[in-house]
Amino acid sequence: MAKRIDVTGLTAYYGTHKAIDDISMHVEPKSVTAFIGPSGCGKSTFLRTLNRMHEVTPGGRVEGRVMLDNEDLYGPGVDPVQVRRTVGMVFQRPNPFPTMSIYENVIAGPRLNGSYKKSELDDIVERNLRGANLWNEVKDRLHKPGAGLSGGQQQRLCIARATAVEPEVLLMDEPCSALDPISTLAIEDLIAQLKSRFTIVIVTHNMQQAARVSERTAFFNLEAVGRPGKLIEIDDTDRIFSNPSEQATEDYISGRFG
């Protein structure tokens, strides 16, 4: 489990609009990499190219190469459905399936792949809810709707749902931006635990969060509105926040724009 990601010359389009231009980077296994940058700089788009969710958007198109260890995600004959089973995703707004109970939400992914015995399913539910630090809060109401939980609990349920398919990589698209500070702290603690099992990439608007949770940080920027987003630099988080190589990074993290 947990694989290394190598991206080479990746460009993504929405129809004719080029959203991100020529991005190359690598992500170490069992580490947390944070993407920061202003709105519209393409960091979420780039994240979605890593599990082929970008092409779900009408007009979405990708050029370049994404290697997961030795496998090219955009290679000929690669099934995007299989890619998404290997590279899981947690979204900005908690989105548990409203028609399913907590229990059913967690097993939704595993059930797609095969049939399990009841005891195996119980096991998957307990293991992943424990892994998401949610078990103690919900163990007495597993068959109540997932939508009845608080926002922070829902987001941890979504993380449990994503980890239940045993992915290699976990992508998180601003997972705390809809949550209060206490729930945010709970998710950050969880990320610190999850990185022992998964390669984690997290997009965040919160620079303190990037500094707290990640080993490496990538800074994205765009020259102007309507221009494609670019990767300015990626480096150890300590360096990015203390002594970045690029002036643009320095300006952004210290709050001076333009």
Residue ranges binding another protein (CB under 8 A): 51, 53, 56, 81-82, 84-85, 88-89, 91, 93, 95-101, 108-109, 112-113, 144-145, 147-148, 158, 161-162, 165
Closer to another protein at the Cβ: 91 or 116? 91
Candidates 209, 194, 96; CA nearest to 154 is 96
Nearer to another protein, 36 or 89 (CB): 89
CA 221-225-227 angle, to 5 degrees, is: 70
| Residue number with CB closer to another protein (116 or 239) | 116
What interhelical angle do 118-131 and 102-113 show, nearest 10?
A: 120
Residue 39 vs residues 50, 99, 126, 159: alpha-carbon distances, Å: 19, 32, 37, 24
Among residues 95 and 177, whose Cβ is nearest to another protein? Answer: 95
Strand arrangement of the beta sheet that strand 216-222 belongs to: 71-72, 60-68, 5-14, 17-27, 229-236, 216-222, 32-36, 199-203, 169-173, 87-90
Closer to another protein by CB, 155 or 217: give it: 155
Element (H, E) at 136: helix 135-138
- Closest by Cα among 179, 2, 19, 159 to 89: 159
State the minimum distance, in angstroms, from the CB of residue 100 to another protein.
7
Q: Other CB atoms closer than 10 Å to residue 40's CB: what's the count?
A: 15
Query: Residue 4: which residues within 8 A CB-CB, separation 6 or more?
Result: 26, 27, 28, 29, 68, 69, 199
Judged by beta carbon, residue 97 or residue 135, the one nearer another protein is 97
Nearer to another protein, 42 or 96 (CB): 96
How far apart are alpha carbons 186 and 21 in whole angstroms?
Answer: 35
CB of 83 to another protein, least distance (A): 8
